[in-house]
Structure 1
């Protein structure tokens, strides 16, 4: 099982469970994650097993996207992004180790993000000949400003937890051994609030239609870039090393 979903009163815990692959997301995982978010009866806590939160897209599935000819909305990854964009329930994320590509951009859709001290974010899209995805061209710029967002996206460097905190990507940093307990405590505080008021408050703070339109626009460019010589060379080099 690559995604574990467990429910307690008012809380759905969704845990990435593919530690051997650093929790890289494949088509099946995207579908399971989408269903778990779409049907959640309460607050969502997004966690991951192992030393890393998420290494991004599974490279084999990633390469296969280059042959997709239909609408971007038909792809499992875009169902997942739409579920995040239109999620009524608050989402808390607990991040350890690496969060790469979509592992970082999904955090921009979460309502509270906790990171362990050694956690680091990276957005390597341009190094792969690709462009930003997941609404990050809009959401990251809104969060940290154009100049800093542009530098993060073009450098592809690892962003330490301390910088994520200072720029407003994360709410707090905790020791690795305390991350799960602290994330559960934060989520439980939300569960204790009146659910209808919580849903309405989140809705007032979000602009899902605007974000989704940007995700689709990004996706169309992203899929075109997947067919580019630069992306093909980058993926071929990666697969040769794997």
Structure 2
């Protein structure tokens, strides 16, 4: 079986993490979440790594949670996605995302924790939590209104409609939009530039940038996780999952 996360070193000081489940549009199962969390932890402690690029294989970022894996998970089992979110929130080094194809659910909310993010022009984004009988996750109930404004955040989270790369840029979810297929090159160019800067100054500046929101993000993650877990078991959510699998 191919590894669901590829770890490479495309440039000195830059580590690339590639979500590698292209047959599932890189949907994230428990094993992939665990691999991502472990890879971020390893990169955080590896002095040779100065910046990390996060991307997806096969021209797609990620379709979000693998619903088949998620639906079958016992309620009392630790959720690997939460460990990944903890790891990405705490990651002390520059994290740059390259987004192509689709970014759905946590594929969007994780971008709020990346320092920089770039999307190909044809990328489609969506936050379909409410449509699936669930609620916002990944700290997005706090961070999305902060970067996009309350009205835009309500539109994206409540309606759960698909939106474009330009709309994602305007909402503050990504820094810029590239030509289709060029997001990774742009992200790695920025990562190389970050890797060349004084590491301690970069780390301190990142920590200062997040200091004012760190406690609120932590509280949002806990509250969202509690509600998300409870909603997953409701008849509405189960009916939404069943409808999804009938498509």
* Same fold (TM > 0.5): yes
Secondary structure at the aligned position of 2:93 is classed as: coil
Question: Residue in 1 aligned with 2:121?
Answer: 117
**Is the 1:92–1:187 Cα contact (8 Å) retained in structure 2?**
yes
- Map of 1:214 onto structure 2: 220
Distance in 2, matches of 1:140 and 1:216, equals 16
* Aligned equivalent of 2:12, options 5, 9, 15: 9
Alignment of 1:157-168 (within 5 A): 157-168=161-172
Supply the distance in 1 between the matched residues of 2:66 and 2:137 (Cα, whole angstroms): 15
Residue among 36, 39, 42 paired with 1:39: 42
Of 142, 156, 176, the residue aligned with 1:138 is 142
Contact 1:15/1:47 (<8 A) preserved: yes
Counterpart of 1:177 in 2: which secondary structure? Answer: coil
**Gapped runs of 5+ residues in structure 2?**
none
Q: Measure the CA separation in 2 of the matches of 1:210 and 1:155.
A: 24
- Deviation for aligned residue 1:239: 2.1
CA RMSD of aligned residues (A): 1.3
What TM-score do you get using the length of structure 1 for normalisation? Answer: 0.94
TM-score, scaled relative to structure 2: 0.92
Q: Is the 8 A contact 2:59 2:181 kept in 1?
A: no
- Of 40, 56, 72, 1:48 maps to 56
1:68 aligns with 2:52: no
- Which residue, out of 77, 87, 103, partners 1:83? 87
Number of corresponding residues: 237
1:86 and 1:208 in contact (8 A); partners too: no
- What is the CA-CA distance between 1:116 and the residue it aligns to? 0.3
- Further displaced range: 145-154 or 208-217: 208-217
Q: Tell me the distance in 2 between the aligned counterparts of 1:75 and 1:128.
A: 18
Q: Does 1:237 align with 2:243?
A: yes
Which SS does the other structure have where 1:80 is aligned? helix
Match for residue 169 of structure 1?
Answer: 173
Give the Å deviation of 1:10.
1.6
